[in-house]
Amino acid sequence: MRISKNWLSEFVTLPKALSSKDLAQKITLSSFEIDGVEDLAEKFNGVIVGEILEVRKHPNADKLQLAKVNDGKKILDIVCGAPNIAAGQKVPLATIGTYLPAVDMTIAEREVRGEKSQGMLCASDELGLGKDHSGIIILDSNLKVGTPFAEAMGFDDVILEVDNKAVNNRPDLWGHMGVAREVAALTGAKFVEPNPGKIKVEGKEVVKVEMLHPDALRYMAVKIDGIEVKESPDWLKSRLAAVGQKSINNIVDVTNYVMYELGQPMHSFDADLITDSADTQIVVRKATEGEKIKTLDDQEYKLTSNDLVIANKNKLLAIAGVMGGKESAISNSTVSIVLESANFDHVSVRKTSQRLALRTESSARFEKSLDPNLCEVALARAVELIKKVSPKAKVVSAIADVKKFKLDLGPIKTTVSYIQKRIGQDIPAKEIVRILKSLGFGVTSSGDSLSVKIPTWRATKDVSADYDLVEEVARVYGFNNIKPAMPSMKIARAPFDPLHEILMQIRPLLAYGYEMNEVTNYSFVSEELVKKIGDNPDDYVKVSNPLAKGLDVMRRSLIPNLLLNVVNNARFFDSFNLFEIGLNFSKENGGEPVKKDSKDLLPQQDYFAGGVVYQKGNKQPFYHAKDIVDGLLNRLHFKTKFEVVENGAKEMPWLSGSRFLNVKVNGLKVGIVAEVEQSIIGKLGIKERVAIFEINLQKLAEMYTDAVEFSPIPKFPAIEMDISMITDRSVKWQSIIDTINALKNPLLRNIELFDIYQGENIPSDKKSVAFRVMYRSDERTLERAEAEAVHSAVKEQLKSKLGASIREA
């Protein structure tokens, strides 16, 4: 939105000392943000009205002329190429030193073919006023010589630029009048209400209006005859140009003018195109399903029964509050119009314009919930202006006015002390009352009590309760005039959050303890990737309105996106380990309730830590991944067990079935360690084996403990003895440990693997395993013979239970 300072000045006398920049700052700090200040006169700085005193031919050039030009102080010699200049003309003169941005040129005194030139006479294009270069602009001969060109032409305006979003909550600020009222309150200047006077009715015709749906709040209309449609006068055109509105013709321009001035969208129909009997009949109703209308933008729209329309008996005339119909539009041959000034429900207008993707200046305003009282003054103002631009016009119908709206104008009962308490500053009662009154509120006070009547233009949805008044007082008083004061609060311990503890510890452990890099990926995963890894997208929570392909479902696991990270980073790095911590979204509804105490639960969404290990030449990254998990969980004091699962996990078909472990804490599954299935790696174009892990941190948090069981430092030395043996290849290390531990001998303290060998000198279905067993007593120094006895028992156990053959040294 563009706000013209000149236009504002018609409603408020701005203090002379207030610069445009200060005005913008004031509005920004107390009302709404001004994005920019554009001084329209700036590009004409240095250009003045000059008078040509004499013109003669250039002695050395056929196409050039020499002019003597009066700049108001002295007579200048100027060389000019334009053929249309003559003595006595007033012309725009760019004086020495002037920069003309339109042609990127700075005027300097120079010689042109031996004749000096002390300035430049300007054509339209040189001033950025058009493309015309055929001749110098000839100005009104009544202009005073030496007057700045911008002032002489009415270009001396300053535009305040506003992002529409900044006034979304203020329906009253969508026209210059409302902004002027606001500025008056902020500066203490006087606000002058527009006073277009009563409409003079000079005929007996009738405009019949029926509102058939409660979304129609008010409909005012008059019929005006004697219309002459023509080009708008300059003052009207330049005003519209200042706010960025194209000029169409005098009648349409007036309706637009009133909208920019008062904030009320207006519409004019060609009366002859909408009147079929003697009377003009207008119906405001909902469209029938599938009803069609061609609008002013030459588009045809198919409507639904939710769309509010303006119609007569036979046809649709307009989409209410959005855009007029093409068939009923005024044209150059129009001689009679029906002028509409109406109000429609903001939600209805918003929904229709949104569904049709038809956003107009009109819909933007109605969406904000305009004051229905505005219709009246706007209609009178439009009639006033139409008579000005089309002098033979006269109102030939009575003023139709149908209204069905209710505004809650209060009064709001509040107290001075409530407002002071919420602001945190004892602003005097007198000042509070003054501020509210300056904004148009009606205030009566008695002692501490205030009774505040809401002005109609703030009552549609903006102001309704005491807390709204706090804002009004505080912002006009000046937020930055409020003295900061610290709140005092009781000391209160935070609820203990074990998940937070784990999240705080896990990142540094993985990064600095296990040489992993943290990444963060989107919470989305693409359906395509889901399918590629052999999973079913139907098992995922779907996004109803995805932004783009590839962002269509919610991740169930951190791993698929991590695999894409592997693909991308493998182009630059040989080896890396990545991890991510974030929420996974389950299709199962085990999460928080959608409302307090509701049985409708959101999807389960737990924090997970996921990791990938990718190392050039590492044929068994699985061990690396497993060791990370083992070390990590031990460090977090969880008693961890790995469980072999034959054929992996069904819910993750993209993981290898034979390189897969469940991670268990206290007997509960908290995660997995696995290698990614070879075929999937191939499909993704990854060249090395990739191992992964994924741990549910929420489940870990439920078992969180910072308890560490202290064991006394051993007082007696241990004895270590090695075993080297041959077993079947299928015998897993865990079962060797379990077999030895099954002896439950109290002297057995530790078993540590140091070699597994398969290959030469070992039968192909066998492997050689070597490990060290540690024996120790807590009561005494162990005799070697004692340890050897247990060691023999261990060997026997391995022979009998696992069929191992022990290699004796």
347/668 with CB nearer other proteins: 347
Contact region with other proteins (CB under 8 A), list: 131-139, 475-483, 757-765, 767-775: 475-483
Touching other proteins, residues 442-471 (CB under 8 A) = 465, 467-468, 470-471
Touching other proteins, residues 583-602 (CB under 8 A) = 583, 585, 589, 591-596, 598, 600, 602
Site string for other proteins, 33-72 (x = CB under 8 A): x---------------------------------------
Size of the site for other proteins (CB under 8 A): 96
200 lies in the binding site for other proteins (CB under 8 A): no
Tell which one of 188, 197, 290, 484 touches other proteins (CB under 8 A): 484
Could you tell me the smallest distance in angstroms from the CB atom of residue 605 to other proteins? 5
Q: Measure the CA angle with vertex 310, ends 308 and 314; round to 5°.
A: 120
Touching other proteins, residues 671-700 (CB under 8 A) = none
Tokens of 65: 């002329």
Touching other proteins, residues 651-670 (CB under 8 A) = none
425 lies in the binding site for other proteins (CB under 8 A): yes
809 lies in the binding site for other proteins (CB under 8 A): no
623/642 with CB nearer other proteins: 623
30 lies in the binding site for other proteins (CB under 8 A): yes
Could you tell me the smallest distance in angstroms from the CB atom of residue 601 to other proteins? 9
Site string for other proteins, 308-347 (x = CB under 8 A): --------------------------------------xx
Query: Which 3 state secondary structure label does DSSP give 24?
Result: helix
Cα–Cα distance, 471 to 484 (Å, whole number)? 17
16/493 with CB nearer other proteins: 493
610/648 with CB nearer other proteins: 610
DSSP 667-717: TEEEEEEEEE-HHHHHHHT--S-EEEEEEEHHHHHHT--------PPP-S-
Query: Which 3 state secondary structure label does DSSP give 658?
Result: strand
492 lies in the binding site for other proteins (CB under 8 A): yes
- The CA-atom distances, in angstroms, between 576 and each of 278, 391, 560, 660, 692 are 85, 82, 16, 21, 12
One-letter amino acid of 451: S
Could you tell me the smallest distance in angstroms from the CB atom of residue 185 to other proteins? 13
Tell which one of 248, 519, 793, 806 touches other proteins (CB under 8 A): 519
Closest CA to 333 of 251, 420, 261: 251
Touching other proteins, residues 130-169 (CB under 8 A) = 168-169
Touching other proteins, residues 541-570 (CB under 8 A) = 541-547, 551, 554, 561-562, 564-565, 568-569
520 lies in the binding site for other proteins (CB under 8 A): yes
Q: Under a CB-based contact definition with an 8 Å cutoff, are residues 775 and 799 in contact?
A: no
What b/e sequence results for 672-703 when a residue is b if at least 16 CB atoms lie within 10 Å of its CB, and e otherwise?
A: bbbbbbeebbeebebebbbbbbbbbbbbbbee
Closest CA to 383 of 226, 173, 176: 226
Cα–Cα distance, 769 to 756 (Å, whole number)? 5
DSSP 168-203: TT-GGGSSHHHHHHHHHHHH-PPB------PPPEEE
Contact region with other proteins (CB under 8 A), list: 214-222, 572-580, 701-709, 759-767: 572-580
Cα–Cα distance, 70 to 356 (Å, whole number)? 59
Could you tell me the smallest distance in angstroms from the CB atom of residue 260 to other proteins? 22
24 lies in the binding site for other proteins (CB under 8 A): no
Touching other proteins, residues 354-393 (CB under 8 A) = 354, 367
Could you tell me the smallest distance in angstroms from the CB atom of residue 217 to other proteins? 15
Alpha-carbon Rg of the chain, whole angstroms? 42
501 lies in the binding site for other proteins (CB under 8 A): no
577/777 with CB nearer other proteins: 577
Burial class of residue 220, CB neighbours in 10 A (0-12, 13-18, 19+): buried
Tokens of 9: 């000045």
Touching other proteins, residues 167-196 (CB under 8 A) = 168-169
615 lies in the binding site for other proteins (CB under 8 A): no
Cα–Cα distance, 414 to 451 (Å, whole number)? 6
CB neighbours (10 Å) of residue 646? Answer: 7
Contact region with other proteins (CB under 8 A), list: 68-76, 296-304, 416-424, 721-729: 416-424
Dihedral sign from CA coordinates of 640, 643, 649, 654: positive
541/751 with CB nearer other proteins: 541
- The CA-atom distances, in angstroms, between 485 and each of 201, 467, 476, 678 are 61, 20, 20, 64
